[in-house]
């Protein structure tokens, strides 16, 4: 009887310690994310940069989950630019590289070519990940100029808040 009691006690201790370790492993995950204010600042700065170069563009900013926070369209930008900007921002966020780099990677590597077929992915320049150190917290996409111009505008938007991303 005493042996059974000791075995039962050990089992309870093992289960209790094991469940506590499991609970600790399942704790809260804390992540950084963009605020709406920061997303608006990035989008506005990117739009101003493109407009200063004579381009009528749209800009989208997505959060770390790839969800849209802000979309701005110049009043003279064509309608498809908003969807292109959103998809560029999403692509940059999800792959954590610029969309120009994504375009090159998927063009030069047949093993990665199928990534272009994922819903909402767009392999055109103009998308840039928003990073805090090595953590990608969002993406910005610009559409309506040319690929290099769109990327420069997106980068100008991030540069506007660079001090806050450190």
The answer as to whether 7 is a domain residue is no
The answer as to whether 1 is a domain residue is no
Q: Quick one: pLDDT at residue 26?
A: 84
The answer as to whether 6 is a domain residue is no
Q: Quick one: pLDDT at residue 8?
A: 52
Residue 116 maps to which CATH number?
3.30.450.150
Q: Quick one: pLDDT at residue 106?
A: 95
The answer as to whether 44 is a domain residue is yes
Exposed, middle or buried: residue 51 (CB in 10 Å: 0-12, 13-18, 19+)?
middle
The answer as to whether 99 is a domain residue is yes
- Tell me the torsion sign for CA atoms 88, 150, 161, 128: positive
Residue range of the domain that includes 65: 36-165
Q: Quick one: pLDDT at residue 108?
A: 85
Confirm if 13 and 46 have CB atoms less than 8 A apart: no
The answer as to whether 13 is a domain residue is no
User: How many domains, in total, are found in the chain?
Assistant: 1
Q: Quick one: pLDDT at residue 53?
A: 96
Confirm if 46 and 154 have CB atoms less than 8 A apart: yes
The answer as to whether 46 is a domain residue is yes
Question: What is the pTM assigned to this prediction?
Answer: 0.83
The answer as to whether 55 is a domain residue is yes
Per-residue pLDDT of the chain (166 residues; tens, 9 = 90+): 566 656 555 545 554 555 555 656 788 988 999 999 999 999 999 999 999 999 999 999 999 999 999 999 999 999 999 999 999 999 999 999 999 999 999 998 889 999 999 999 999 999 999 999 999 999 999 999 999 999 999 999 999 999 988 8
CA distance 27 to 75: 47
């Amino acid at each position: 009887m005493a042996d059974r009691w000791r075995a039962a006690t050990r089992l309870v201790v093992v289960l209790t310690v094991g469940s506590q370790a499991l609970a600790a492993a399942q704790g809260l995950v804390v992540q950084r994310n963009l605020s709406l204010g920061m997303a608006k600042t990035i989008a506005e700065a990117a739009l101003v940069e493109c407009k200063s170069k004579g381009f009528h563009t749209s800009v989208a900013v997505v959060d770390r989950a790839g969800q849209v926070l802000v979309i701005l369209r110049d009043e003279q930008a064509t309608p498809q630019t908003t969807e292109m900007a959103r998809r560029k921002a999403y692509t940059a966020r999800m792959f954590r590289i610029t969309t120009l780099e994504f375009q090159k990677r998927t063009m030069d590597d047949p093993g990665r070519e199928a990534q272009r077929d994922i819903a909402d992915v767009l392999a055109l320049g103009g998308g840039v990940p928003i990073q805090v150190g090595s953590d990608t917290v969002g993406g910005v996409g610009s559409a309506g100029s040319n690929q290099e111009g769109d990327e420069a505008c997106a980068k100008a938007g991030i540069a506007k808040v660079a001090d806050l991303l450190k």
